[in-house]
Amino acid sequence: MTDKKTTPNFENAFKAIDPKTLFPFFNSDVFGEWFRSQGFDDLNPITIMQMHQDRLTALAQANEAAMSFYRVQLERQAKLFDGVIRATWAGLEKSDLSGSAEATKQNLEHYKAATDKAVELMRRYSEETATAAQNAYQKVSAEIEASVRDHRKS
């Protein structure tokens, strides 16, 4: 063990606040160019705040559309579940528990019919979900694009 203490090296810490490395980050030309690329001619704080307000409004509308979509999906899922359960019970109610070969054959036919109905319900649900999701996406995308386009015109 040694009593020699090492001297801390602050060179890297000082580089973080060195004007040569710090000021290029705050390059006003680059910063201004970014605003111009967003459709602004100058750095008007009111215009910038309005842009962000419009984007927040569009985001809130998108969230509302998403909530509505999920609500409809939950209702569809409950309806699907109810339909599958009803088809299953209908198949079970027709079951013949006598154990004969003919009863077993009929039971299998009833179960197959119930399964086919459940699969058809799930297929239809899947198609409706895909269509609803596409419609919601197109609606939200159009609203956001319109909001940004309207803002850039003003």
66-93: pLDDT as tens digits: 788 788 888 888 888 888 788 778 777 7
Give residue limits of the domains in the chain.
Answer: 63-153
Task: Provide the pLDDT confidence category of residue 119 given band limits of 50, 70 and 90.
Answer: confident
Residues 6+ apart with CB under 8 A from 76: 125, 128, 129
Residues 6+ apart with CB under 8 A from 10: none
44-61: pLDDT as tens digits: 777 778 778 877 887 787
Start-to-end CA span in the chain (Å): 72
